[in-house]
Amino acid sequence: MSMRLALYWAPELSDPLHAAASAWLGRDAETGAPLPQPELPGLDLPALTADARRYGFHATLKPPFHLATTYAAARAAAVELAAATRPFALPPLRVADLDGFLALRESEPCPELHIFADACVRALDAHRAPPTEAEIARRRPERLSARQRDYLEAWGYPHVFEEWRFHLTLSCRLATEQMALVRPAAEAAVAEAAWRPRLVRQLCLFTQVEPGASFLVAERLPLLG
C-alpha cells in the first residue's frame, strides 16, 4: 500500500511550542492548515523549510515505513507500547546547528528519550515492509558507516539505536551565510517556547497517505506506564 506510518514525538496542542514551530514551518501537522511564516529579508523561508513543513514539526522515534500488515495491527502495537511507557521529563530544548540543518535539540542528555526511541523501533518492526531498492539507494549507503549500513539492512533506516539523535527539524541544510541569518530568526520565533519544561506524555502516529503528500497526525496515544 502507498501509505506510510511513522512514530514521532510532537509537542502537545496546548504546548506553546506547537503553535510557534507550526507557524515557523508554515503548516499545522495536526490539522494540515497552512500558516503564515515570518518574513526574512533576502531569504525565501518557505523554500528553506519546505521539507520540514511536509513532514510536520516532530522528532522521529521510528522513521516512516510502508506497512507489511494493516494500520489497525500497527496501531495496536503502538497502543501496547504507549500503555507500557511511563511519562518522563524532557530537558529544555534549544536551537542548534545539526550538520548544517537548524533543529531543536535537548539541552542535556536524556536517557529516557533513547530508551523510548529504541522501543519504538523494535515494537513496530514486524509491521514494517522492507524498503525498496530505490529507497535504500536514497540513503546513500556508500556514504554510511558499516554499522549504519547494517542498521539500514536490518531496520530499514541507518540512524537508529546508537546512531539516533533526537531533533526537531526547522530548516533544510543551510549555507554558512544563510545560517547566520536564519538561526537568529528561528531563535526569536521558537526559543522561548522550546526552553519551557515539559513532559513526554504522548506517542504520535503520523501518516502520509501517498508519495509526496504531507504527513499528518493520525493519533496521539497517551503514555500510561
pLDDT digit string (tens) for 13-49? 999 999 999 999 999 999 999 999 999 999 999 999 9
Q: How confident is the model at residue 213 (pLDDT cuts 50, 70, 90)?
A: very high
* Identity of the residue numbered 134: A
Instruction: Please tell me the predicted confidence (pLDDT) of residue 8.
Output: 98
**Residue 5 pLDDT > 90:** yes
Instruction: Please tell me the predicted confidence (pLDDT) of residue 1.
Output: 60
Residue with cell 511550542: 17
Show the domains of the chain with their CATH numbers: 4-222 (3.90.1140.10)
Closest of 92, 91, 104, 100 to residue 189, by C-alpha: 104
Instruction: Please tell me the predicted confidence (pLDDT) of residue 136.
Output: 87
Closest of 111, 88, 106, 78 to residue 7, by C-alpha: 78
**Residue 88 pLDDT > 90:** yes
- pTM equals 0.95
Q: Which of 91-95, 137-141, 142-146 has the lowest mean pLDDT?
A: 137-141
pLDDT digit string (tens) for 145-201? 999 999 989 999 999 999 999 999 999 999 999 999 999 999 999 999 999 999 999
List, as one string, the DSSP characters of 135-155: HHHHT-GGGS-HHHHHHHHHH
Between CA 125 and CA 62 the distance in angstroms is 9
Instruction: Please tell me the predicted confidence (pLDDT) of residue 131.
Output: 87
